[in-house]
Homo-oligomer: A and B are copies of this chain.
Amino acid sequence: MAVAELSSSYQTRLIKPSQLLSLSSRLSNHRKFNLQCRPRTTPRGTGICCSVAPNEIQTPVAVPTGGQSTKPECYGVFCLTYDLKKEETTKSWKKMITIAISGAAGTISNHLLFKLASGVVFGPDQPIALKLLGSERSFEALEGVAMELEDSLYPLLREVSIGIDPYEVFLDAEWALLIGAKPRGPGMERADLLDINGKIYAEQGKALNAVASRNVKVIVVGNPCNTNALICLKNAPNIPTKNFHALTRLDENRAKCQLALKAGVFYDKVSNMTIWGNHSTTQVPDFLNARIDGVPVKEVIKDQKWLEEEFTDIVRKRGGVLIKKWGRSSAASTAVSIVDAIKSLVTPTPPGDWFSSGVYTDGNPYGIAEGLVFSMPCRSKGDGDYELVKDVIFDDYLRKRIKLSEEELLAEKRCTAHLTGEGIAVCDLPAGDTMLPGEM
């Protein structure tokens, strides 16, 4: 049975009308003064567990909690009922949007959530609801995050709820920022990591498919993010494939900064920066199409050897250098790059410029294999959607490098076939470790 069929049968069978409650009725349904929220124990993992293909690794299929409450726990002051109608009139506020975040108790989220709540991402007239997904182990930390959000008094933040079941937390989500992933443990092979995190993203894809907004935008940050995004979208057949992104924006930002430094200009002078391919060491920061003050990089930086041999290396080793200095991974700048990625979709791209995002390759004009999530240059009208940029040029060097990243992603795809409904997984990953240092 294909995943697509499985998922849609879930939807038919298990989604209750209570899950489709409108925002207004949900708003009137809060418990008051519930300062101490506890995780409810839901009968999870007790239901259907089918493998999608004959394979030695079984996909754990998350079962929606039928019949019971389908709302995550609201938190503290956010459990109160607010009449947003008044604000919409007096302050010209937009209708509230719902943003779900996985890995919400982690350090990246600890930066990101406060940016979302402050209004710098979606604008000063956009009230938001934050739905935080954690694990049983992190539930108390989620409460701590919710308490700090309370204490921040952000006027635009109108709802905060926390939960451990994606079928609850993703309900009606219009944005899903999927940050949670297992880090690689000692002695763990890349194939193991692909499988462990792939299963998480398969489950979250199914949950999004079942309960999220039909036009939910999904940004996958948890690594390996391209293949996680692919698995997620394959498990969410009722959501447009165009809505799924793998985050390569931090790579783009780092590449821009390094070109600026080499050229001796401020980083705001660098434009048209593409990261091609996988968010791994095979990524291709494209100095052929990038521009400095509107001029092709190669006309400004005449050091071809540096561009071809050092530049890419600096960009992909940046996270590793940082973790050595700082002792921890780059949570703050990752959160900034997630904000950048969202803003690039909700504000029009400046004329002539573009941004990079890992998106689905079907119909791409570059000759990249279809059926992958591959970082490519995009433009947006600011409506949440994007188009691939057509006016890019290639040379042999660029083509060859892109090919290597494509091959890696095709291998990752074969290695996770059991999670995408495409048959038996065969793990013939290229030799060598291509995980980005600092992101193990």
Name A's B-contacting residues (CB within 8 A): 32-33, 35, 76-77, 80, 82, 110-111, 114, 118, 120, 140-141, 143-145, 147-153, 155, 158, 250, 253-254, 256-257, 260-262, 264-268, 318, 321-322, 324-327, 330, 332-333, 335-337, 340
Contacts and interface: CB of A to CB of B under 8 A. Distances in A.
Nearest to A143: B325
A148 B323 CA distance: 11
A100 B268 CA distance: 24
A261 B114 contact: no
Given A144-B325, A325-B141, A261 B151 contact: no
B325 A151 contact: no
Label chain A's interface by main secondary structure: helix
Contact of A336 (B35, B152, B268, B325): B152
A267 B153 contact: yes
Contact of A261 (B77, B110, B324, B332): B77
24 contacts: A32-B264, A33-B264, A77-B260, A77-B261, A77-B267, A80-B260, A80-B261, A82-B266, A110-B332, A111-B114, A140-B326, A143-B326, A145-B326, A148-B330, A151-B250, A151-B254, A151-B257, A151-B330, A152-B253, A153-B253, A153-B256, A153-B257, A153-B267, A153-B268
A58 to B, nearest CB: 34
Nearest to A327: B141
Contacts of A267: 77, 150, 153
A267 B158 CA distance: 10
A77 B258 CA distance: 8
A268 B155 contact: yes
A148 B264 contact: no
A266 B87 CA distance: 12
A82 B264 CA distance: 9
When all copies of this chain in the complex are counted, the total is 2
Contacts of A325: 140-141, 143-144, 147
Contacts of A321: 147
A90 to B, nearest CB: 12
A261 B33 contact: yes
Contacts of A148: 322, 326, 330, 332-333
A330 B149 CA distance: 10
Contact of A266 (B77, B254, B260, B266): B77
Given A111-B114, A141-B327, 17 more contacts: A33-B264, A80-B261, A80-B264, A80-B266, A82-B266, A111-B111, A140-B324, A141-B326, A147-B318, A147-B322, A148-B326, A151-B253, A151-B330, A151-B336, A151-B337, A152-B253, A152-B333
A89 B250 CA distance: 31
Nearest to A254: B151
A107 to B, nearest CB: 9
A322 B76 contact: no
A143 B266 CA distance: 19
A437 to B, nearest CB: 14
Contacts of A264: 32-33, 80
A179 to B, nearest CB: 16
A36 to B, nearest CB: 10
A284 B414 CA distance: 63
A149 B330 CA distance: 10
Contacts of A155: 268
- The 5 residue pairs across chains A and B that have the minimum distance between CB atoms: A144-B326, A144-B325, A148-B333, A152-B336, A151-B333
Chain B CB within 10 Å, residue with most, of A155, A262, A266: A266
Given A111-B114, A332-B114, A261 B322 contact: no
A169 B324 CA distance: 24
A77 to B, nearest CB: 5
A236 B326 CA distance: 33
Contacts of A253: 151-153
A80 B326 contact: no
Nearest to A33: B261
